[in-house]
A and B are shown apart, each in its own frame.
Chain A
Amino acid sequence: MKSLFNYIKEVVYAFVSLAKGLLLTLRYFVTIRKVNITEEYPNNRTTTISVKERFYGEVVLPHDENNEHKCTACTLCQIACPNNSIQIISKQIETEDGKKKRVLDKWVYHLDSCTFCYQCIDACPQDAIEMKNSFELSVYDRTKLIYQLNRPGSKLKEKPTVKEQQS
């Protein structure tokens, strides 16, 4: 008799426990408009999409309105990068007062091998580079992912503080 009672108890317990789960999924089913968690990505790229400001999308070298950047071609970022994603190509130029100076020629960024580890930006003493939160970076050919970050004709922004320190 006891075993029969246990048998019935088990069946009832099973039904109750399963019904609880069914109720949960039914609740989702009828209130999907409220509980939906997906984003309709390509449609919401200009509206509701949320990409955090700090999101590490790609390394950029910001230029100001005079087409000047802050990179002094010190190659510290190149050394800091674990994947050799950065190539700093510098050139010697002669300034007006006749001194020789190394300036940035090409800031080559290999986005295809970058792991977005932030170490280059951390290493840069001039805060010349930063991370942009762009994320639609894919292209059809990986050779197109090699960027030159400094714009043509751009030059180093003269920092008054740096000059004062030098003098």
Chain B
Amino acid sequence: MENQPTTPSPTELRTEEFVVNIGPQHPATHGVLRIEATLDGETVKDILPHLGYIHRGIEKMTESMPYKQSIYLTSRMDYLSAHINNHACSLAIENALGIEVSARAKAIRIIMDELQRLTSHELWWGSCAMDIGAVTPFFLGFRDRERILEIFEANTGNRLTMNYIIPGGVMRDVLPSFVTDVKELLKKIKGYRHEYDQLITGNFIFQHRTQGVGYLSKEQAISLACSGPVARASGVSCDVRKHYPYDGYEKLDFNEVIDYGCDNWARYLVHMEEMNQSIHIIEQLLDNFPTGEYRTKIKGIIKLPEGEYYQRVETARGELGVYIVADGSNKPYRMKFRTPSFSNLGAVKPTTVGLKIADLMANMSTIDLVVPDIDR
């Protein structure tokens, strides 16, 4: 900071900046993230995030685990996009082995991914409204999320950290009633969407809390390596599903949601529209749901040929990259995850400095941080 502390003249009121530790246990950080905020009264002057409170060493752990086992660990990174994380790892391994998965497995994977994106965005919607002070939306978000989780529970056996998408396909076939279940679910969710608008999107207070707040320019978004809804709300086209399609996204018709507003309101709208797009994607797949094998049999012990492999997917928060260095054994030599929340965390400071402390919470919630995803 360039402004030197000036000695105040006797007539001048002496003010002092002070430091507030927000977190690691704080309702707004949604996890154990500590933010050291320098405040001047209500105005935020500087922000310093401290990481590592939930660091579990997932990258290191994968080095001592066979490939098959290390996939289940990735559900614990961004626990709201567990399917998508598993998907990323599985894809990386499949690419290395040169396996082609069946059409049915691809369809199941994409439906699960998009359902996962819906759950994540619904939870985000509730918690974003809660950070801005409205408690009721949280329950509405959970109401709709719960329906999707029931589908997960019925088909994958778990609700939060599934180990469902595995190299070669999916762990178990979906239930025979899967297609009708999901269709019914989508009808229900679509019926609820107007309540979201009625309660929060159209709300005058909410609009004023988000519009023009938390400005992140396109240049900043690019230089901070932001991805996902955060970058797309700043006008950066970065949807991995469009640019580097995987598992048949290229055959589907959906829009990359881009907004040029650069503020919290734009980020909010991007999230909301992405939910519509997810519903649209799932509907296309359900209409002609492929039959056939759900899983290509691969050897019990996976050994990747020596080399480096990289695979990226679009999680609910942005681009997740999986980088594997294989040495020919059944364990990775090094496995590195480029998680979206870690890069997006960088956007908190440029968006917040100069604003009020309440805006810090609003920015953090629209940037949609998942703390275990930051720390891994």
Which residues does A use to contact B, with CB under 8 Å?
13-14, 17-18, 20-21, 23-25, 37, 50, 52-56, 76, 80, 82, 115-119, 122-123, 131
Once the chains bind, are B153 and A20 in contact (CB under 8 Å)? no
Within 8 Å by CB of A54, from B136, B139, B153, B200, lies B153
Within 8 Å by CB of B150, from A13, A52, A80, lies A52
Q: Which of B1-9, B100-108, B157-165, B249-257 contacts A (4 or more CB under 8 A)?
A: B157-165
Task: Please name the residue on chain A nearest to B154 by beta carbon.
Answer: A52
Task: Please name the residue on chain A nearest to B159 by beta carbon.
Answer: A55
Residues of B within 8 A of A24 (CB): 195, 198-199
B109 within 8 A of A: no
Given contacts A17-B207, A18-B205, A54-B172, 7 further A-B contacts (CB under 8 A): A14-B204, A17-B204, A24-B198, A24-B199, A37-B146, A54-B155, A115-B72
B60 within 8 A of A: no
Once the chains bind, are A117 and B163 in contact (CB under 8 Å)? yes
C-alpha spacing A47/B195, complex, angstroms: 31
Once the chains bind, are A17 and B161 in contact (CB under 8 Å)? no
* Top 10 closest pairs, chain A to chain B, by CB: A82-B69, A56-B157, A52-B154, A14-B204, A117-B163, A17-B204, A117-B72, A54-B157, A52-B153, A37-B143
State the majority secondary structure of interface residues on B.
Answer: helix
B20 within 8 A of A: no
Once the chains bind, are A17 and B72 in contact (CB under 8 Å)? no
CB of B343, distance to nearest CB on chain A (Å): 28
CB of B106, distance to nearest CB on chain A (Å): 20
Residues of B within 8 A of A131 (CB): 157
C-alpha spacing A76/B153, complex, angstroms: 26
B65 within 8 A of A: yes
Once the chains bind, are B203 and A21 in contact (CB under 8 Å)? yes
B271 within 8 A of A: no
Q: Give the residues from 158 to 217 in chain B that come closer than 8 angstroms, CB to CB, to chain A.
A: 158, 161, 163, 171-172, 175, 195, 198-200, 202-205, 207
Residues of A within 8 A of B157 (CB): 52, 54-56, 116, 118, 131
C-alpha spacing A74/B139, complex, angstroms: 48
Once the chains bind, are A119 and B163 in contact (CB under 8 Å)? yes
Q: With A37-B143, A54-B155 given, is the CB distance from A119 to B68 under 8 Å?
A: yes
Task: Please name the residue on chain B nearest to A125 by beta carbon.
Answer: B300
Once the chains bind, are B163 and A17 in contact (CB under 8 Å)? no
Task: Please name the residue on chain B nearest to A37 by beta carbon.
Answer: B143
Residues of A within 8 A of B156 (CB): 54
CB of A76, distance to nearest CB on chain B (Å): 8
C-alpha spacing A53/B150, complex, angstroms: 11
- Sampled A-B contacts (23; CB under 8 Å): A13-B204, A14-B204, A17-B203, A18-B203, A18-B204, A21-B199, A21-B202, A24-B195, A25-B199, A37-B139, A37-B142, A52-B150, A54-B153, A54-B172, A55-B153, A76-B300, A82-B65, A82-B72, A116-B157, A116-B158, A122-B171, A123-B300, A131-B157
C-alpha spacing A14/B208, complex, angstroms: 10
Residues of B within 8 A of A53 (CB): 154
B266 within 8 A of A: no
Residues of A within 8 A of B146 (CB): 37
B28 within 8 A of A: no
Among A37, A56, A82, A122, max chain B CB count under 10 A is at A82
B281 within 8 A of A: no
C-alpha spacing A119/B300, complex, angstroms: 11
C-alpha spacing A155/B199, complex, angstroms: 62
CB of A130, distance to nearest CB on chain B (Å): 11
CB of A119, distance to nearest CB on chain B (Å): 7
Task: Please name the residue on chain B nearest to A10 by beta carbon.
Answer: B204
Once the chains bind, are A17 and B153 in contact (CB under 8 Å)? no
C-alpha spacing A82/B66, complex, angstroms: 9
Residues of B within 8 A of A52 (CB): 150, 153-154, 157
